[in-house]
Every structure is written in structure tokens, then in C-alpha cells.
């Protein structure tokens, strides 16, 4: 049985006091649920990681970096290593979010290096995959998702897969208010699970959690979570308000 996993990606939002208040508010609103019946994580901007980690220190909410660099240390201006994320109390790292792939230009190869560096650095990566609207219209969704999953998990052993979550986020649904229908999402989630069975084995594929992301909110969370292969949600906009995100977490219980 896969435990539900709800994650909030704050992107380039909040400020020092607002971020700490948001984190504290959600921890309070989900006391007794977060970490018990559902795993919960936040991904604040790097500069607020430390204050958010301390704001939720008495809860079981896990904190992660929105990005990570694959080198251990050295002359990589502006980058953050796995060891640095761990050092401030992170347990997760987002790898290959669509905004990093399509706004910043990250390649599948770079995303794979980030997944590997997260695992070897003791963090749990969330590998994000998903097609653009043109790719969906051209019926290339499965082709694109398969390429991103295979490339993103290259050299990730079956044993190391225990640390990995996959997030299916159709790019056309992110921040647009256009959620994939539960059927559309389920179809791709099932495709990813079959792909994992092919890459590893059926037992492992049954254990990997696959989150959906893309305009997930309080009023569609339960229906999305009701799909057989949807194990959690990666939430952007709706993770920035205590009541909205707390309602999403409760819908996953």
C-alpha cells in the first residue's frame, strides 16, 4: 500500500516572515495527519529553507530544495549541493521541474545527474516529467514521458528507487487552472507504472509513488487522489494558502 504524499512547491513566492507563517500554519492545521496518514513536504525558495525547517521542526513535515546541483562543491556560482540541502535539514529535492526544463533549459541528462546526486547525497528526489500542449496534441505524451522517465532514472538501481518519487505534471496544466481530468491523469500514471515495471520489475513499480501536478486544488484533490495510480499531488499555487493546502492534505487521507 502506497502512502499518500502531498508536496507544496512554493516556486519564487513568499518572503521570510510569510514563508515561516505559512509553514507553521499548515503544520498546525494538519497536526496528527501530516507524517502519520499522509506524507507532507514543502519546497520553499533556497533562502528561506532554514527558517522553514525551524518553523516546522516539531512536526513530521519534510522540507526540500526546489532544485539541486549535481557537483559536490567548488566553483559553481549560484548552485546548491545535496550536502548543503542536507545541512539545513532538507530531506527532498525536486529534479527536472517543468519550469527548470522549459524556462531554464535543463536537459534530460542534467536532470538525471541531479537525481543521482540527490540519492547519493542522502536526499529523496522527486523526478518531474510531463508533456507540452503541442506534444499532447501531436499524441506524443507517452513518447515524451517515457523518454523523460528512462533518461531521468538512468543508472538508478532498483535498490535506490526506494528513495524516488515520480511526479507527472502535464506542462499545459501547470499554473493555468486547466487541470488534467482524473481519467487523463490516471492514464499517464498507469503508463508510467507499467514503464517502471518494464525498467525494473512489477513489485518495484507497485511501490513507487507517482504524484500528479498541474492546477491541483482543494476541490479536485479528492477526485484525483481517488484514481488507482495517483499516489499524491505536487501543488504549486494552492500550496501558498494555509486553508487551501491543509484542505488538499486532508483530502488525501
Q: Which residues are catalytic?
A: 97, 169
- Return the number of the residue (75 or 103) whose C-beta is nearest ligand PGA: 103
Tell me the residue nearest to ligand PGA as measured from the CB.
236
Which one of 90, 95, 234, 252 is in contact with ligand PGA (CB under 6 A)? 234
- Return the number of the residue (73 or 102) whose C-beta is nearest ligand PGA: 102
**Considering only CA atoms, which of 67, 73, 136, 135 is closest in space to residue 101?**
67
Rounded Cα distance between 128 and 211, Å, is 9
- Return the number of the residue (171 or 196) whose C-beta is nearest ligand PGA: 171
Rounded Cα distance between 101 and 99, Å, is 5
- Return the number of the residue (58 or 186) whose C-beta is nearest ligand PGA: 186
Q: How far is the CB of 58 from ligand PGA (least distance, A)?
A: 27
Query: Within 10 Å of residue 194's Cβ, how many Cβ atoms?
Result: 14
Residue 226 in contact with ligand PGA, rule: CB under 6 A: no
Residue 165 in contact with ligand PGA, rule: CB under 6 A: no
Strands (E) in 54-168, as ranges, are 62-65, 92-95, 124-129, 165-168
Residue 235 in contact with ligand PGA, rule: CB under 6 A: yes
Which one of 215, 232, 244, 249 is in contact with ligand PGA (CB under 6 A)? 215
Q: With DSSP H G I counted as helix, E B as strand and the rest as coil, what are the percentages for the chain, rounded to 5?
A: 45, 15, 35
- Return the number of the residue (13 or 51) whose C-beta is nearest ligand PGA: 13
Which sign, positive or negative, has the C-alpha torsion 98, 102, 104, 108? positive
Q: Do residues 244 and 233 touch, judged by C-beta distance below 8 A?
A: no
Residue 237 in contact with ligand PGA, rule: CB under 6 A: yes
Q: How far is the CB of 118 from ligand PGA (least distance, A)?
A: 17
Q: Hunting for cell 508533456 — which residue is that?
A: 131
For residues 174-213, which are near ligand PGA according to CB under 6 A? 174-175, 213
For residues 48-67, which are near ligand PGA according to CB under 6 A? none
Task: Identify the burial level of 85 via C-beta atoms within 10 angstroms of its C-beta, where 0-12 means exposed, 13-18 middle and 19 or more buried.
Answer: buried
Q: Do residues 148 and 129 touch, judged by C-beta distance below 8 A?
A: yes
Binding interface with ligand PGA (CB under 6 A): 9, 169, 174-175, 213-216, 234-238
Amino acid at each position: 500500500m502506497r502512502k499518500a504524499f502531498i508536496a507544496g512547491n512554493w516556486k519564487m513566492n513568499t518572503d521570510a516572515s510569510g514563508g515561516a507563517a505559512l509553514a507553521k500554519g499548515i503544520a498546525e492545521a494538519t497536526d496528527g495527519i501530516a507524517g502519520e496518514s499522509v506524507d507532507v513536504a514543502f519546497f520553499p525558495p533556497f533562502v528561506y529553507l532554514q527558517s522553514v525547517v525551524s518553523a516546522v521542526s516539531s512536526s513530521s513535515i519534510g522540507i526540500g530544495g526546489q532544485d539541486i546541483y549535481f557537483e559536490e562543491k567548488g566553483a559553481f556560482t549560484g548552485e546548491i549541493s545535496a550536502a548543503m540541502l542536507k545541512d539545513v535539514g532538507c530531506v527532498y529535492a525536486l529534479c527536472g521541474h517543468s519550469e527548470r526544463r522549459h524556462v531554464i533549459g535543463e536537459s534530460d541528462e542534467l536532470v538525471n545527474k541531479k537525481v543521482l546526486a540527490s540519492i547519493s547525497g542522502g536526499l529523496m528526489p522527486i523526478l518531474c516529467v510531463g508533456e507540452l500542449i503541442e506534444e499532447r496534441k501531436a499524441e506524443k505524451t507517452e513518447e515524451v514521458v517515457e523518454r523523460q522517465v528512462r533518461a531521468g532514472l538512468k543508472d538508478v538501481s532498483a535498490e535506490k528507487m526506494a528513495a524516488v518519487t515520480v511526479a507527472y505534471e502535464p506542462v499545459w496544466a501547470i499554473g493555468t487552472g486547466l487541470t488534467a481530468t482524473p481519467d487523463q491523469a490516471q492514464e499517464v500514471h498507469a503508463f508510467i507504472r507499467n514503464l517502471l515495471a518494464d525498467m525494473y520489475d512489477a513489485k518495484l513499480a507497485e511501490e513507487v509513488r507517482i504524484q500528479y501536478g498541474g492546477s491541483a486544488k482543494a476541490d479536485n484533490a479528492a477526485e484525483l487522489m481517488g484514481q488507482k495510480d495517483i499516489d499524491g499531488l505536487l501543488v504549486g499555487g494552492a500550496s501558498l494558502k494555509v486553508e487551501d493546502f491543509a484542505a488538499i492534505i486532508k483530502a488525501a487521507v
